[in-house]
Amino acid sequence: MTDRPPNRGMRRRIASAVAALTFTSPAQAATTLGASAAESGRYFGAAVAGNRLSESAYANTLAAEFNSVVAENAMKWDATEPNPGQFNFSGGDQIVNWAQARGMKVRGHTLVWHAQQPSWAQGLTGNNLRNAMNNHITGVANHYEGDVFAWDVVNEAFEWDGSRRQSNLQIQLGNGWIEEAFRTADAADPSARLCYNDYGTDGINAKSTAIYNMVRDFRSRGVPIDCVGFQSHLSAGDNLSSYQANLQRFADLGVDVEITELDVGGSGSGQAATFKTVTDSCMAVSRCTGITVWGVTDKYSWRNDDPLLFDDNYQKKQAYTAVLNSLNEGGGTC
Ligand code: XIL
């Protein structure tokens, strides 16, 4: 290349590229979270409780604003396998059917977790627990194959200091259980993206670094892991100075990253600012494929500090506007 000014053909191409840019950005600013996220190839989802879908304001808000759902509880071990080997998919199926009828995507949450296990599994030891874990993963992932685009295969297996959580799975099965869970999930549903999901990973810290090291090891040895979920249960004013850099270092390992359970305790501009930082961060990381908030409305949040985007009366909060604007401002496509 030389420093000569662009010739006529090149000038024409530049002019038409500029025109295309002019016509695609502000003119198409979307007016819902899902549509706006979709403009960069992302999703914007909400955790859903099936028994709320009969409330019209709940259902209407969910259908209008979001393009992805995750079952808040209905796909967990206690709900899907109340007795050994006896699966019950009614709650999960209700949510899947509702979402698919509206053209929405479904995330799967969660195959293996220390919490919300059925009581029969909590007492198992050794190979009985191993067989139960693998049988559970296989049964649930087989059933939802083709319905969920991603699974939280393992949830919350690390402590703040980066050590393994001393759950029944860890104590009975040893360090290899996470790898085993991913391999079993991959065999049961080869097409769903398989995620590790945790909280307290909102920056570069001991816990996120331990997970990073695990993911790096899995990638180097060909253990099937495709994505990392960052729950992001936050409060207004939390220090998020390395939030984006943390997402990026995981993405650089060759996995997608997703914000999976976002909620922010607080109100007004402080709450909005924290939501905006998280959304801006996802938009700035091309492998950040989407955001899920942990509920539709403050009215039914699992927290009591009004952490969501719609208030008790389904009115849009300041945080909603901050998120929508951030999504519309673009960031990288994914
Ligand atoms: C929560 C649900 O929101 C509650 O309804 C339930 O009683 C407990 O679990 N991390 C997770 C989610 O991965 O599954 C949890 O969901 C919130 C914390």
Mean pLDDT by 10 residues, the chain (334 residues): 48 51 59 98 98 98 98 99 98 98 98 98 98 99 98 99 98 98 98 98 98 99 98 98 98 98 98 98 98 99 98 98 95 50
Q: Residue holding tokens 């627990």?
A: 129
pTM: 0.92
CA 66 / ligand 1 centre spacing (Å): 20
| Residue 46 and residue 293 in contact, taking contact as beta carbons nearer than 8 Å | yes
Q: Does 4 reside within a domain?
A: no
Spell out the residues 6+ positions from residue 6 whose beta carbon is closer than 8 angstroms to its own: 14
Residue 310 DSSP code:
B
Helix (H) or strand (E) holding 172: helix 168-173
- Does a structural domain hold residue 19? no
pLDDT at 15: 52
Ligand 1 centroid, distance to 116 Cα (angstroms): 9
159 part of the active site: no
Structure tokens at 287: 């492998």
Residues 216/248, Cβ–Cβ less than 8 Å: no
Q: Does 159 map to a domain?
A: yes
Q: Which residue of the set 72, 156, 180, 261 is catalytic? A: 261
Centre of ligand 1 to C-alpha 305, Å, is 15
In a domain, 75, yes or no: yes
Spell out which residues line ligand 1, taking CB within 6 angstroms: 72-73, 155, 231, 261, 302
Cα(232)–Cα(201) distance, integer angstroms: 7
Domain holding 254: CATH number?
3.20.20.80
Host domain of residue 129 = 34-331
Q: In this structure, is residue 151 part of a structural domain?
A: yes
Looking up tokens 């402590």 gives 159
Q: What is the pLDDT of residue 1?
A: 39
Distances (CA, A) of 84 to 130, 139, 238: 13, 11, 42
The alpha carbon of 71 and the centre of ligand 1 are apart by a number of angstroms equal to 10
Q: Is residue 230 part of a domain?
A: yes
Position in ligand 1 atom list of the atom nearest CA 197? 13
Q: Which of 48, 80, 261, 304 to mutate to test the pocket of ligand 1 (most atoms within 8 A of CB)?
A: 261
Nearest ligand 1 atom to alpha carbon 76: 14
Report how far residue 307's alpha carbon sits from residue 263's, in angstroms, rounded to the nearest whole number. Answer: 5
Residue that is written with structure tokens 């090149």 in the block: 10
Domains in the chain, number: 1
Burial 270-287 (b: 16+ CB within 10 A, else e): bbbbbbbbbbbbbbebeb
In a domain, 298, yes or no: yes
| Cis amide linkage into residue 110, ω under 30° from 0 | yes
CA dihedral 231, 234, 238, 241 (to 10 degrees): 20
Give the pLDDT score at 33.
98
Res 29: pLDDT:
85
Quick check: 260 and 152 in contact, CB under 8 A?
yes
Residue 17 belongs to a domain: no
**DSSP state letter for 50:** G
Reported as half-sphere exposure (CB side, CA atoms, 13 A), residue 322 has a value of 21
Question: Which tokens go with 2?
Answer: 């030389």
In ligand 1, the atom with minimum distance to the C-alpha of 49 is 5
Number of neighbouring beta carbons within 10 Å of residue 6: 10
